[in-house]
Amino acid sequence: MSDDAPDLKTAYALNTPQESKRLYAQWAGDYDQSFAAREDYHLHIHTARAFVAAGGQGPVLDVGAGTGLCGGVLAELGVGPIDATDISAEMLDQAMSKDIYRDAIEADLNLGIPVQRESYSGIVSSGTFTTGHVGPDALDALLRVARHGAQIALSINAKHYESAGFSAKLEHLAKTRIQSLTLKETRIYGDLAAGEHRDDLALIALFEKA
**In the prediction, which pLDDT does 35 show?**
55
The Cα–Cα gap between 23 and 162 comes to 26
Q: Residue 197: give its domain's CATH number.
A: 3.40.50.150
**What residue numbers bound the domain in which 128 lies?**
8-209
Confidence tier at 5 by pLDDT (50, 70, 90): low
Domains held by the chain: number: 1
The Cα–Cα gap between 5 and 101 comes to 28
Whether residue 52 is contained in a domain is answered as: yes
CB 100 within 8 A of CB 71: yes
The Cα–Cα gap between 87 and 89 comes to 7
**In the prediction, which pLDDT does 192 show?**
73
pLDDT 10s digits, 163-198: 999 999 999 999 999 999 999 999 988 777 677 767
Whether residue 179 is contained in a domain is answered as: yes
CB 51 within 8 A of CB 148: no
**In the prediction, which pLDDT does 29 show?**
46
Lowest mean pLDDT among 112-121, 144-153, 173-182, 198-207: 198-207
Whether residue 3 is contained in a domain is answered as: no
Whether residue 54 is contained in a domain is answered as: yes
**In the prediction, which pLDDT does 131 show?**
64
Whether residue 72 is contained in a domain is answered as: yes
pLDDT > 80? residue 25: no
pLDDT 10s digits, 44-93: 999 999 999 999 999 999 999 988 999 999 999 999 999 999 998 888 99
Whether residue 180 is contained in a domain is answered as: yes
Whether residue 2 is contained in a domain is answered as: no
The Cα–Cα gap between 65 and 184 comes to 21
Identify the sign of the CA torsion 87, 122, 140, 133: negative
Whether residue 108 is contained in a domain is answered as: yes
**In the prediction, which pLDDT does 55 show?**
97
